[in-house]
Amino acid sequence: MNTEISNDSKAAADSNGNSYTPNRILITGGAGFVASNFILFLMKKYPHYQITCLDRLDPCSNTKNLSEVEFNPNFTFVRGDICSKDLVMHILKSQNIDVIFHAAAQSCVDQSFTDPMEFTRSNVLGTQVLLECSKSLEGQIKRFIHVSTDECYRGVPLDSDDRCREDCLLEPTNIYSSSKAAAEQFVTAYNFSFKIPTIITRSNNVIGRHQYLEKIIPKFSELLSRGLPCPVHGNGLNRRSFIHVDDVCNAFDLILHKGSIGEIYNIGTDSEISNLDTLKLLIQIFREYYPECLDARKSDDNYINFVRDRPYNDLRYRIDSSKLKKLGWNMKYASLHDMIKSTVDWYIKNKNYWENAEQALQAHPSEK
């Protein structure tokens, strides 16, 4: 992958100070699921942008995710840890970065219960390292976009119509979401105390190409493709709202160029479904489009395996995305069936994409 970046071009801000044209973007966790999709999105839509990817290549990251752009002269890949202040400073200075898009994070909830200190190190300390480096550069960084999660909010009861707005109280309940909420507090503090130009995003559960097999849609897709039953935590009534990664990339694009400094933007949908019904929908899709994977003689119940729940499992999250819609965001995938079907298609076409991923297919991936 290329390690040189061409001369600076001038970034421009409009008269209201909100719109911004990036020049050289550092994307952390860029070999992971969401960030790799955003890199591909940016390099197709803005081929003149200079993009540097920093990723330490944990199991959930994959250099295959970046194969489309690895030889692009405007793309640089650096393998390294965001907790290394010397490395981060070197990248920011040598590449003259003006935008940090911070997506690197430990995100497996199950893993957070068994290795909580690593989540604090990566998600909290790593974020502060990036903020400290930004502060040291005294105005070089024009946008610091921090990718967070709807799990920072309190869970919403199943019978409630409430939605969490960006100003709602953060009440995380697991180690992963707590580390993300803590990181957000540092982002907000550096904005207030040191005028770092930060923006925070919080999204629903993202699905699509490149997602590691520990997450529910790719895990169930992989197991069903092998004709195997899928583990459902607890009674399976916990509900989640899903959003396709293409719609998230469109949201990031809008926030990057038109988002207001100091703001928080929810990125959410109404595509809410229980974990159990998610599996039933996946079985239906496989029956219709990939019948060779499942035994026609077996009932759908043969592919459902109820297992013990997580130590704590929020019932539901609902977020209000009206602020983002006012910026002009519209979704491509209005149908939950369509976004899940397109995701299944990608996994079927990309068998053996992940190496040494059998542990991720377990009911509780963190357990040996």
User: Given 20, 153, 176, 303, which residue is catalytic?
Assistant: 176
Closest of 143, 128, 123, 256 to residue 196, by C-alpha:
143
Residues 6+ apart with CB under 8 A from 37: 65, 208, 209, 210, 245, 246, 248, 249
Residue 20 annotated to the active site: no
Q: What is the CA radius of gyration of the chain?
A: 20
Residue 176 annotated to the active site: yes
Sign of CA dihedral 285, 290, 293, 298: positive
User: Given 55, 98, 110, 150, which residue is catalytic?
Assistant: 150
Residue 151 annotated to the active site: yes
Residue 101 to residues 8, 29, 235, 343, 344, Cα–Cα distance (Å): 18, 9, 37, 25, 28
Pairing outcome for strands 264-267 and 198-203: parallel
User: Given 55, 98, 110, 151, which residue is catalytic?
Assistant: 151
Measured between alpha carbons, how far is 278 from 337 in angstroms, rounded to an integer? 10
Annotated catalytic residues are 150-151, 176
